[in-house]
Amino acid sequence: MARAIEAYRDERGLVHDTPRAAIVADIAAALGRVGDEGGLTSGVASLILEKRPLIERAFADFDRLITDEPLMLKAYDDENIHLIARPNAANEKHRGN
């Protein structure tokens, strides 16, 4: 007798038994071929999913670093960096921030 099952479809339309399998397939597809003949792609995709919290933290750091205003340096030598200020720091004080 036929019965309903729970399955998960990846972006290419392939059906998987678990959400993890579907997501790994999507990540693998996004990566393309990794290694000789693409033999490492699925393993790398699994590792990315497994290390997700660390990877998300790294991307959050990256996003923060690229959106922060650069520091204006007065001078530097081998041991010291002399900070003047962030470019908008003075403007924020005048606006009451």
Q: What's the pLDDT band for 6 if we cut at 50, 70, 90?
A: very high
Angle CA 79–84–86, to nearest 5: 115
pLDDT digits (tens, 9 = 90+) for 10-67: 999 999 999 999 999 999 999 888 877 767 888 999 999 999 999 999 999 888 888 8
Q: What's the pLDDT band for 74 if we cut at 50, 70, 90?
A: low
List 80's β-bridge partners, or say none.
Answer: none
Domain extents for the chain? 1-50
Q: 86-93 long-range contacts, Cβ below 8 Å, gap at least 24?
A: none
Verdict on whether the full-model pTM lies above 0.85: no
Burial class from Cβ neighbours inside 10 Å (0-12, 13-18, 19+) for residue 73 reads: exposed
CA distance 84 to 97: 19
